[in-house]
Amino acid sequence: MNFDALQRRVRRAEAVVQVRMDETVRQWDTLEAAWRRSWTPGRILIAGLAGGFVAGRLEPGGAFSGARWLQMIGSVSGLVASAQASIATLQEAGLAAAAAATAEAAGDDAPQADPPTPA
């Protein structure tokens, strides 16, 4: 296999990755929108009451104290923040890759900047 064929395979693989990343971001946005729409005030209230009931039932046994609830809430909020940061990074990378692909497609004949000379 020659070098040009390898370059074509790499470009195809990069295009496939870009399409899959775009699909993933789009599906994540759809999931996020559906998730946010589903949390109505009534459902939030029911979830809070159910969580309070479970905490009250487990508290006398001492297995799940208030400090553990706070620890669990902190862990979950950290997980959610990490997931949101990952999605934001993926979206930024997708935009950068799309801009690079557009620039590459449009600027194949454009002159390239000379590399800096070592001092």
Q: Is the pTM of this model over 0.95?
A: no
Q: Are 97 and 18 in contact (CB under 8 A)?
A: yes
Q: Tens digits of per-residue pLDDT, 71-99?
A: 878 888 888 888 888 888 888 877 777 77
How many Å apart are CA 24 and CA 94, to the nearest integer? 11
pLDDT at 117: 60
Q: Tens digits of per-residue pLDDT, 39-76?
A: 888 888 888 888 888 877 776 655 556 677 778 788 88
Q: Are 29 and 37 in contact (CB under 8 A)?
A: no
Q: Are 102 and 36 in contact (CB under 8 A)?
A: no
Residue, of 85 and 107, whose pLDDT is higher:
85
Q: Is the predicted pLDDT of residue 1 greater than 80, yes or no?
A: no
Domain residue extents for the chain: 3-100
Q: Are 58 and 64 in contact (CB under 8 A)?
A: yes
